[in-house]
């Protein structure tokens, strides 16, 4: 297939491009405006296989349409989003413009030029504060921040477009907490000013930060800190390949992507200390927009696509992230 990957220089996007290149089955075009993505990731991917990279924003609709005229894409895998929950609460328009409006630009052109398969990078943030410890794809969606709402709105657009165009199929992947780095050390998280817990912990271990914070220890959880379902980046990347293969032959579908187990912030920090040694941690105020607990029920993904995680180990996830930090520190 000829596949367009948007945001392919970013953390998750680059790992998915790597998996696609390693499969040696597809022709890949990557677009990214590098506002969050990394040119280093693109250079690293060029050692894996051949692909076309274009520095482009989804806001540039005229240039984007020229790309669709030039290439007959059979599938799109769409990342290219802002992802910081707290920032979305203070700059909501930034999130609606990029995560929703720009996605609509892309979906519009996909329909105009007959692209049949669309894999969308969504988020567990669309569930908001669930009433149950574990959520399935049919759990109520009540996002509590602009990030989650911007993604949910794009889900709605995809669903309505697919209802109107029977030749258009989507796979919506609702991620839980993604962490770690590629097992060969080639790729990792380069996201500037990262706020992800495991990234921050490994930066602290490696000396890039002198301390880290726990944002709130008074949640209604077993130790007062937020609980999340952490998934290794390579397992997540594999899920995109399985989802794409699924919708090529089946109807549109929505999948949770996680391991189905939760770790509290304190548990992750304790595991990080076991992996890399002690470091300084302080308690800070809660951040706006953080739900207390989010854990995936990903049974549907496993059952329908055959996806099976290979790296379900919190210490393995942390070790791969730490190896990446130490490599980029050199």
User: Annotated active-site positions, please?
Assistant: 147
Tokens representing 279 are 């470091």
Identify the CA nearest to 192 among candidates 5, 11, 13: 11
Any bridge partners for residue 77, and if so which?
5, 119
DSSP 224-247: SS-EE-EEEHHHHHHHHHHHHHHH
Sign (positive or negative) of CA dihedral 54, 57, 62, 67 = positive
C-alpha separations of 327 from 14, 22, 29, 190, 320 in Å: 17, 22, 28, 12, 11
Identify the CA nearest to 110 among candidates 164, 187, 150: 164
CB 17, CB 40: distance < 8 Å: no
Identify the CA nearest to 198 among candidates 271, 147, 134: 271
**C-alpha to C-alpha distance for 201 and 9, rounded to whole angstroms:** 23
Tokens representing 293 are 């607990």
C-alpha separations of 8 from 21, 66, 134 in Å: 12, 19, 30
Identify the CA nearest to 311 among candidates 266, 270, 273, 257: 257
**C-alpha to C-alpha distance for 321 and 177, rounded to whole angstroms:** 14
**C-alpha to C-alpha distance for 58 and 43, rounded to whole angstroms:** 22
């Amino acid at each position: 297939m000829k596949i367009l990957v948007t945001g392919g220089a970013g953390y998750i996007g680059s790992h998915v491009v790597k998996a696609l290149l390693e499969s040696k089955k597809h022709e890949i075009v990557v677009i990214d405006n590098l506002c969050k993505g990394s040119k280093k990731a693109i250079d690293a991917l060029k050692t894996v296989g051949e692909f076309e990279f274009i520095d482009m924003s989804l806001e540039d609709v005229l240039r984007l349409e020229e790309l669709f005229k030039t290439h007959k894409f059979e599938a799109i895998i769409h990342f290219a989003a802002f992802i910081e929950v707290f920032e979305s609460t203070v700059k909501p328009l930034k999130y609606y413009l990029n995560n929703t409006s720009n996605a609509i630009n892309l979906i519009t052109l996909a329909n105009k030029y007959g692209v049949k398969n669309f894999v969308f990078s969504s988020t567990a943030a669309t569930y908001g504060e669930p009433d149950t410890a574990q959520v399935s794809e049919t759990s109520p969606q009540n996002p509590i921040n602009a990030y989650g709402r911007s993604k949910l709105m794009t889900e709605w657009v995809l669903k309505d477009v697919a209802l109107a165009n029977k030749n258009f199929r989507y796979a919506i992947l609702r991620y839980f907490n993604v962490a770690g780095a590629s097992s060969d050390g080639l790729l990792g998280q380069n996201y500037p000013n990262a706020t992800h817990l495991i990234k921050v912990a490994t930066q602290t271990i490696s000396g890039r930060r002198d301390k880290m914070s726990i944002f709130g220890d008074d949640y209604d959880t077993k130790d007062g800190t937020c609980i999340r379902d952490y998934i290794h980046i390579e397992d997540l990347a594999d899920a995109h390949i399985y989802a794409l293969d699924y919708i090529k032959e089946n109807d549109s579908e929505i999948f949770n992507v996680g391991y189905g187990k939760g770790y509290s912030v304190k548990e992750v920090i304790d595991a990080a200390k076991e992996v890399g040694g002690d470091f300084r941690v302080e308690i800070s105020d809660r951040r706006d927009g953080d739900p207390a607990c989010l854990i995936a029920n990903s049974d549907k993904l496993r059952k329908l696509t055959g996806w099976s995680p290979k790296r379900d180990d919190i210490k393995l996830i942390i070790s791969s992230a730490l190896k990446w930090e130490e490599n980029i520190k050199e």
